[in-house]
Structure 1
Amino acid sequence: MPESLIEELPKIVKQGKKEAQRILDGLSKSSRVTLQTNELVLPAKDSADLYRGKIKEESPTHTHFGFQNRLIYGDNLLAMQALLAGDAETPSMRGKIDLIYIDPPFDSKADYRTKIHLPGTDIEQRPTAIEQFAYSDTWKDGTASYLQMMVPRLVLMRELLSEQGSIYVHIDWHVGHYLKVILDDIFGKDNFRNEVIWYYGERQLPTATKFNNKHEVIYYYSKSKDPYFKMVFKPFSKDYIKKFFKKDENGRYYTSTDGGKGKPRYKRYLDESPGIAMDTVWDDIKMIGSIAMKKERVNYQTQKPEALLKRIIEASCPENGTVADFFAGSGTTGAVAEKLGRKWIMSDLGKPACMITRKRLIDQDADPFIFQSIGDYQKEQFEKSEFRTIRDLAHVIINLYGATPFPSNEGAPANAGYIKQSRTLVVVDSPSKMTGYNTLKRAQEFRNRYAGGWKKVVVLGWNFVSDIGQIIRNLNDKNLEVLVIPPDLLDKLKTKAKYKKLIDSKKIRFSSLQYLKVKPVKIEDHYDGKNHRMTIELDNYVLLSPDALPLDDKNQEKLAKVISDDPLALIEYWSIDPDYDGEVFRSKWQDYRQNVANDNDPFRVVRKAELVIPKENRRRRVCVKAVDVFGFESATVLEVM
């Protein structure tokens, strides 16, 4: 008979702790995981303030020095590794986080599809390939797989917490009792502080087989016996006031103790009372789906109310402390921490989650923050695979593309192959590199010089520099083709034996890159005589391989029509750095769908931006970045006087 979950649990904990220790032992290695900064966001959404030149400037704490609020896209296990390790620009966060709140997914049957609203139609998108593999791994063997996912992550979270730090784990009845045992083991049974019941009490239809579920559970643990904690209070209810308070001659409500002879010993006025000290049943916070919470909704399925996070943060994070959420979802934790003056770190594996969170923070005019991703995701996947060398992996990919690898004795690069009939060379870039200008130039030289010259060269890459589209256009070489290796390929190639099945299936697609086109930048004198007015206008957006997206046939047809009618309608978010230094993209202007302040169109971004910049007689590099509704990012850099 198969083992029960209770019998498996000790093995799951042991295996998870072993994985966490392997990660901790490797933090000092040169091959450690790093974070790649995509954008330094200085919230200044398309507005009159920006036109008047009131661009929010970076303070030293939001550039390369000190702490940076950050939103990280990618697997939280890798994100936490990078935070623990630190890098040349950011010190390690080990023992520096005051509060962690997590709301991990706890429903194996949850629908992770995203509905995208476009002009005249809606498109339903399945999770990205990377997300699909993460979700399938999480629930591969049901609850056992889920717990295997959680154990090493909880161990790393404990390492990130300060000695006075706390963690709140938000869970429901599916797996909460198993997770409670694991939390006891990792954080210590004596450090279990409370089981909080969030009773939301929404009306539900009766069921025939069980009672209605009307609450969720939050487990509160501390790292040590002396955590930071500040009691929070909730207001008195109307019934409580009516029962225990009186009105004085000025109409103020008060309560008193009897001092004898009809005289009160003391009076405590309602407007001077903090309220009732919170207990462990929180029944005064509504679900985000209720009518009362309509203004707070950001159309994210698992969004939690701000009042819930406000209570947790005020109780367990000191002023100017640091809050982290490694299953960030719609970004409620960071949004509330920002309003309460706390620092924050958030990460999520879902592209839609990160896109919603970034817009939400800009909408509330947050302080500058950085948006990062896992810089070496494919490298990490490669190291977990059975391939011993990059050459072995490259040869498999060359075969999957339909080409033949060069033998090692023919003087060609180890990552190259050929298609003899069409005189085409194929070059596979490393999963640990960002494919850019140098790679493409070497590929051109290889094509022109090797064995008398070849007709064409195809470069297959994993990760690309953000302005790769412009680099390709500037090279203007019709016999150079650049294609994207499917991001889930290494997951499918966990064993070398599997690639033969993939070749037979002919289902591997190497897709083209998308790119953004911008009209020539205009610079004119501003009416104040001291500044210039810079005008930047989007021209076109090219999504070359819509068939590679996780869409069914019906949604592919809808997308094709949008591409034909109005390709710029696919832009979800775009931003501008008017003085790009070639290293850090400083987003000093942003617009995005649902921002209707200037155009009253929730389905399209504005196409033109006007920035006021200091008048200087020098050449400027202007970088424009765009993210489409599917989360693909592209950029273009223009030089102007």
Structure 2
Amino acid sequence: MSKSLLEQLPHIVAAGKRQAAQVLEQLEGKNRVSLQTRELVIPSKDTSAADLFASASQSSGITGTGGGTPNRLIYGDNLLAMAALLAGNDSTPSLRGKLDLIYIDPPFDSKADYRTQIRLPGATLNQKPTVLEQFAYSDTWADGTASYLAMLTSRAILMRELLADNGTMWVHLDWHVGHYAKIVLDEIFGRKSFLNEVVWKRKFGNAAESRRLGSAYDTLFVYAKDDQDYFFNPVREKNSDHVKQYIESRFTRKDADGPHAGRRWMPYPLANPGDPTENLVYEYKGYSPPAKGWRMVREKLEALDRDGRIYFPAKHDQRLQEKKFLDEYEGQPVNSLWQDIFVINSQAREAVDYDTQKPEALLERIIRISCPEGGLVGDFFSGSGTTAAVAEKMGRSWIASDLGKPATMIARKRLIDQDAKPFLYQAIGDYQVEQARSTLGRKFRVGDLAQVVLNLFGAVPLAAEENVNNSLGRLPNTKTLVFTDSPSKMTTVSTLRRAQGYRDSKLGGFEKVIVLGWNFSAGIGQDIQDLNDPNLEVLVIPPDLLDRIKKKGADKLAGQVRFSSLQYLEATVPAREVSGSDELLTVDLKNYVLLSPEAINLDDKNRSALQQVMNEDPLALIEYWAVDPDYDGEVFRSVWQDYRGNTENNDDPLRVVTQAQVQVPRAPGPRRVCVRAVDVFGFESEVIVDAVEVSA
């Protein structure tokens, strides 16, 4: 008989603590996880791009010129993202003990549909999660609630390490896992550090089901790192129904004349609620003091009287009252039942078409309560980016991380749309997940999977002494070597060079090498072009291959798996118009070639619809593109961006504009212009154009 969840909990928590301890032990090692800056996003809406470019270059902290590191949007496994933040690097110090507030809204329904709906001109597609997302979701729910709690345990431990000594953490859950999660969180933070269980009534809730009541609220558990010393800023509310009823029932009086004529007020006791002291016991204008005296000294009472703020009843045996005016009323202190914040609906101005999006008012209240002005907020299940967007508006610094590529794409567009300060878009450096997984003990054997991929491609593995992680094979009766990269790594130009080395050295040398990869760096197309090697071919492994192997088995997939070519971006710089100390740079987006539809996790109907869009309107597949007018080969600084839905640039929400005009400081000689694009499926690509100098 299997153990109950209650019996498993001690083992779950112990395993989570071991995993977190292993992460913390690796922070100082040579294999520590690092973050790779993919883009310094410099929103240019309604702002001089040239000014933004100059200021961001000086203040970003990534150029070594001083200043603080910008806010960060991180794509990747949050366990590794937090490990990188704790470790720090040469340019960015560790953030251990630096976050004032952490809010997380982890997925809490094992039956949730993680597919992404993609709207294109003339077609709407449904795509399953990416390979990395599939790993995470399957791991999270492999053993139901038990594996979910295991996932949460190790991450909560790292979050506590990131919290400032006076920081707090808010964990947003619902009835699926909330009660179990609280036991885990009590163990990590200590029961004394539990501050509140906040109930957010989602106003209309879910409709009642046939045999149980509908769920109408979510729960937020609030923990302090130090139960004796934590930041807390009480807030008040005025717009909830019960406060409105309070106002109508209490603020019922008006002065007919005098300095406050026409103002609504309510009587407020002047009696001392505490212990009496001699200076509070006195008669005032014939009115005897209450039993414990007044709640203020005579001088303050006289000041209220001079300002017309005392109500004198006709009979002296009745109590004096202070007039509390409605127009000065700040509202009732917020308690742990929140009934005045609505869920997001599709027509809301802040809606970004993301299923689990939380209202900005919810995060605004949380930040106001638990993060000081100028503080740092973290969200490691950031979804649509609500936490980052609200923190930005409220003048707080922020770090947002999510495993979902669609989520980070939406968050990036959302922040650009609200004219955020320059921020970094980062990913786990080379993902380093292969090393991290082996270090953290996750059951994952790269070599075994590589052999499966080689077999499906039709290659025969090399002998063990010539093989590297079982990743090398050869096509029968040819001089062609096949190299299979790990699904947990980013295939980069260094990967290609390594494959060239294998081609030239293994078994006396091969004529050609084919690289099979899962995830590619944005500039891989440009890298292939620069290598200019006709005996190097790069193909994409279908991202749903793992799912297909799991369902059908590798043996039944023989001859059915198609490996596609890479996506490719084309752009030109047709004009550089110089005017004084500036120049106007024109960049044209010319073409986008998507990798074969077979490589995308779609069914036959959706794949056919995609093929039609690819043939008729390939640039309609671009979700976001940006321009760096002076690319240094390391950090992409986007001083101009456009994205689908940005109707300020055009009136078609399903298409980007295809021409950018960027005003930048004049530069002598040629400019190295980098254009980077992300398509609707999250695939990144870039092209570098050398723009020759033109005269004024």
Both structures adopt the same fold (TM-score exceeding 0.5):
yes
Asked if 1:512 is matched to 2:518, the reply is: no
Taking a change above 3 Å as real, the CA distance of residues 601 and 488 of structure 1, as seen in their structure-2 partners, is closer
How far did 1:480 drift? 2.4
Contact kept in structure 1, 2:447 and 2:469, CA below 8 Å: no
What amino acid does structure 2 have at the position aligned with 1:335? A
- In structure 2, the partner of 1:235 is 238
* AA of the residue aligned to 1:602: P
Offset of 1:121 from its aligned partner?
1.3
CA contact (8 A) 2:438 2:444 kept: yes
Paired with 1:463 and 1:244, the residues of 2 have a C-alpha distance of: 64
Whether contact under 8 Å (1:434, 1:463) holds in the other structure is yes
Which residue does the alignment assign to 2:313? 261
Distance 2:542 2:80 in 1: 20
Aligned match of 1:626 in 659, 670, 677?
Answer: 677
- Measured in 2, the distance between the counterparts of 1:561 and 1:343 equals 44
Counterpart of 1:221 in 2: which secondary structure?
strand
Between stretches 323-332 and 422-431, larger displacement belongs to 422-431
1:373-416 Cα distance to aligned partner (Å, 9 max, x none): 1122344346557789x888866654453223444778999964
Q: For the residues of structure 2 that align with 1:440 and 1:28, how far apart are their CA atoms?
A: 29
Structure 1 residue 417, shift from structure 2 partner: 3.5
- Per the alignment, residue 144 of structure 1 pairs with 146
SS at match of 2:349: helix
Task: Give the 3 Å change call, closer, same or farther, for CA 277–489 of structure 1 in structure 2.
Answer: same
* Contact 2:543-2:600 within 8 A present in 1 as well: no
For 2:205 and 2:490, the matched residues in 1 are separated by: 52
SS of the residue aligned with 2:602?
Answer: coil
1:592 equivalenced with 2:643 (yes/no): yes
Q: Which moved more, 1:96-105 or 1:391-400?
A: 391-400
Distance 1:337 1:196, change over 3 A: same
Q: Does 2:402 align with 1:402?
A: no
Tell me whether 405-414 or 482-491 shows the greater mean CA deviation.
405-414
1:597-612 matches, cutoff 5 A? 597-612=648-663
**Structure 2 Cα separation of the partners of residues 253 and 381 of structure 1:** 65
Look up the SS of the partner of 2:232 in the other structure.
Answer: coil
What secondary structure, in the 3-state scheme, does the structure 1 residue paired with 2:125 have? strand
Task: Note the aligned Cα RMSD (angstroms).
Answer: 3.1
- Which residue does 1:550 correspond to in 2? 601
Structure 2 CA distance for partners of 1:387 and 1:299, relative to 1, 3 Å: closer
Supply the distance in 2 between the matched residues of 1:398 and 1:129 (Cα, whole angstroms). 18
3-state SS of the aligned residue for 1:346? Answer: strand
Which residue, 55, 58, 81 being the options, matches 1:57? Answer: 55
Flag structure 2 segments of 5+ consecutive residues without an equivalent: 269-309
Partner of 1:364: 418
Partner of 2:229 in structure 1? 226
Mapping of residues 151-190 of structure 1, within 5 Å: 151-190=153-192
**Residue identity matched to 2:232:** F
CA distance in 2, matches of 1:283, 1:479: 65
Q: How does 1:183-198 map to 2 (within 5 A)?
A: 183-198=185-200
Q: Matched residues in 1 for 2:548 and 2:485: separation?
A: 18
Asked whether 1:418 is paired with 2:474, we answer: yes
Counterpart Cα distance in 2 of 1:367 and 1:51: 12
- Aligned with residue 307 of structure 1, among 349, 361, 369: 361
* Partner secondary structure for residue 243 of structure 1: helix
TM-score (norm 2): 0.83
Aligned partners of 1:288 and 1:309: how far apart in 2?
A: 13
Matched residue, 1:97 = 99
Is the Cα–Cα contact under 8 Å of residues 599 and 606 in structure 1 kept in the other structure?
yes
Specify whether residues 244 and 559 from structure 1 end up closer, same or farther in structure 2 by C-alpha distance, changes over 3 A only. Answer: same
From 544, 556, 561, the equivalent of 2:612 is: 561
Per-residue CA distance 1:122-144 (angstroms, 9 max, x = gap):
11111112212321221222211
**Inter-partner Cα distance in structure 2 for 1:409 and 1:299:** 52
Give 1:466-485 correspondences, 5 Å limit.
466-485=522-541
The one-letter code matched in structure 2 to 1:332 is T
Q: Tell me by how many angstroms 1:299 deviates.
A: 0.7
Figure out how many residues of one structure are paired with residues of the other and give that number: 630
Q: Is the CA contact (8 Å cut-off) linking 1:514 and 1:542 kept in structure 2?
A: yes
Deviation at 1:9, TM superposition (A): 1.2
Q: Which amino acid aligns with 2:229?
A: D
Say if 1:451 and 1:282 are closer, same or farther in 2 by CA, change over 3 A: closer
How many Å separate the matches in 2 of 1:7 and 1:430?
A: 37
SS at match of 2:19: helix
Q: Which residue of structure 2 aligns with residue 616 of structure 1?
A: 667
Please tell me whether Structure 1 or Structure 2 has the larger radius of gyration of its CA atoms: 2
Contact 1:398–1:426, Cα closer than 8 Å, also in 2: yes
Opposite residue 94 of structure 1, the aligned amino acid is R
Q: CA deviation at 1:25?
A: 1.5
In 2, distance between residues paired with 1:432 and 1:4? 33
Q: Deviations over 1:323-365 (max 9, x none)?
A: 1111101111111111111111111111111111000000000
- Secondary structure of the 2:169 match is strand
Matched with 1:272 is 328
Q: Secondary structure at the match of 2:313?
A: coil
Closer/same/farther in 2, CA of residues 503 and 88 from structure 1, 3 Å limit: farther
Are 1:456 and 2:456 matched, yes or no?
no
Aligned partner of residue 27 in structure 2, secondary structure: coil
2:391 to 334, 337, 340: 337
Does the 8 Å CA contact 2:140/2:147 hold for their aligned counterparts?
Answer: yes
User: Structure 1, residues 228-252: CA drift from partner, whole Å, max 9, x if none?
Assistant: 0010000164332222123345433
* Greater Cα shift, 583-592 or 192-201: 192-201
Residue 189 of structure 1: how far off its partner (Å): 0.6
Shift of 1:457: 2.3
Deviation per CA, 1:508-567: give whole Å up to 9, x if none. 554421111113x133334x4432221101111111221111111110011000001001
3-state SS, counterpart of residue 296 of structure 1: coil
Counterpart among 631, 635, 638 of residue 686 in structure 2: 635
Could you say which residue in structure 2 is the equivalent of 1:24?
A: 24
Q: Tell me the residue number matched to 1:347.
A: 401
Question: Helix, strand or coil for the counterpart of 1:285?
Answer: coil
TM-score by length of 1: 0.90
Q: What is the deviation of 1:449? A: 8.3
- 1:133 and 2:135 aligned: yes
1: CA distance, partners of 2:165 / 2:614: 54
Say if 1:595 and 1:413 are closer, same or farther in 2 by CA, change over 3 A: closer
Q: Choose 294-303 or 403-412, whichever is displaced more.
A: 403-412
Distance 1:419 1:563, change over 3 A: same
User: How far off is 1:223 after superposition?
Assistant: 0.8
Q: Pick the aligned partner of 2:576 from 494, 518, 524.
A: 524
Taking the aligned partners of 2:483 and 2:395, their CA distance within structure 1 comes to 50
SS in 2 for 1:579: coil
CA distance in 2, matches of 1:598, 1:379: 43
C-alpha distance 311-518 of structure 1, shift in aligned 2 (>3 A): same
Question: Contact conserved, 1:28 with 1:85, CA < 8 A, in 2?
Answer: yes
